[in-house]
């Protein structure tokens, strides 16, 4: 989320471009889900740019925004991290993956069965979605997304997890005050970090196949 339709559109286009570069640089197919994350974030921001002029609404763009932000990201991030993680880290990633799957299922049901409404609040867009038991859902969402990055066993992804955690706290505080929304800035920074991660993975030696992988 950004502070205007233009900012959302420009930031979304930029993040999408970084995502395309990330996907083009992928060397290992298992890295593709995580490398493609900026493409999803860019599409998310471009979708939100359509909501500003309407002022409020519960149309298709609002539903698409909610689907990406809530159930899709809750499962996409832990799956992407699990695919890219080294073998020794995969067992501990089962917890964030399970949390993401459960949280995603509940959020998907809420989006499918309840109205989703967008409202302009100062320089931010607020979204209204009827959810019960919100604190457990927030905990599950953060465990799935931030937790999987912190437990990934990869130094760059650990840094990304810290950036997401700190950035989300700051952005949430500013958004709650309806002062300005800076989620798009966090998305841009995270996308650049992911691009660096993809480049580093590309430069690293490819793992040996079969029985030689552990040699």
Domain presence at residue 176: yes
Strands (E), 13-115: 56-57
Question: What value, to the nearest 5°, has the Cα angle with vertex 26 and ends 67 and 157?
Answer: 65
Query: What is the domain-level CATH number for residue 115?
Result: 1.20.1070
pLDDT above 50 for 66:
yes
Does the pLDDT of residue 178 top 90, yes or no?
no
Buried/exposed code over 2-25 (b: 16+ C-beta within 10 A; e: otherwise): bbebebbbbbbebbbebbebbbee
Check residue 82 and give its pLDDT: 97
Per residue in 86-134, pLDDT tens? 999 999 999 999 999 999 999 999 888 878 877 776 666 667 777 767 7
In a domain, residue 88? The reply is: yes
Residue 160 lies in a domain: yes
Are 144 and 103 within 8 A, CB to CB?
A: yes
If you compute the radius of gyration of the chain from its CA atoms, what whole number of angstroms results?
A: 18
Question: SS3 of 54, please?
Answer: coil
Note the pLDDT of residue 207: 54
Tokens of 77: 């991030």
Instruction: Using alpha carbons, select from 45, 157, 40 the residue that is nearest to residue 96.
Output: 157
Assess whether pLDDT exceeds 80 at residue 189: yes
Task: Over range 44-56, report the average pLDDT.
Answer: 75
Position 184 scores a pLDDT of: 76
Residue 75 has pLDDT above 60, yes or no: yes
More confident residue, 56 or 59: 59
Strands (DSSP E) along 46-169, which ranges? 56-57, 116-121, 124-129
SS3 content of the chain, % helix, strand, coil (to 5): 70, 5, 20
How many structural domains is the chain composed of? 1
Rounded to an integer, the average pLDDT of 54-66 is 74
Asked whether residue 215 is assigned to any structural domain, the reply reads no
pLDDT band at 210 (very low <50, low <70, confident <90, very high): very low
Q: What is the tens place of the pLDDT at every residue in 155-177?
A: 999 999 999 998 888 876 765 55
Is residue 213 assigned to a domain? no
Q: Which residue has better confidence, 168 or 180?
A: 168
65 SS3 class: helix
C-alpha dist (Å) from residue 164 to 94, 126, 159, 171, 191: 20, 20, 9, 10, 11
Range of the domain at 53: 5-203
């Amino acid at each position: 989320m950004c502070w205007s339709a233009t900012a959302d559109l420009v930031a979304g286009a930029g993040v999408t471009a970084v995502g395309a570069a990330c996907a083009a640089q992928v060397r290992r197919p298992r890295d593709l889900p995580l490398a493609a994350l900026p493409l999803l974030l860019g599409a998310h921001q471009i979708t939100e740019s359509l909501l500003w002029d309407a002022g409020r609404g519960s149309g298709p763009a609002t539903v698409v925004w909610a689907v990406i932000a809530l159930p899709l990201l809750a499962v996409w991030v832990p799956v992407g991290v699990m695919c890219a993680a080294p073998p020794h880290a995969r067992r501990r990633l089962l917890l964030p993956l399970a949390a993401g799957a459960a949280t995603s299922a509940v959020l998907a049901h809420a989006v499918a069965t309840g109205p989703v409404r967008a409202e302009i609040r100062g320089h931010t867009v607020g979204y209204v979605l009827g959810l019960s038991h919100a604190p457990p859902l927030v905990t599950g969402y953060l465990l799935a997304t931030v937790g999987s990055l912190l437990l990934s066993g990869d130094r760059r992804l650990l840094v990304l997890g810290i950036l997401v955690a700190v950035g989300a706290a700051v952005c949430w505080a500013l958004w709650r005050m309806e002062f300005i929304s800076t989620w798009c800035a966090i998305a841009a920074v995270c996308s650049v970090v992911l691009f660096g991660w993809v480049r580093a993975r590309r430069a690293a030696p490819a793992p040996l196949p079969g029985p030689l992988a552990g040699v």
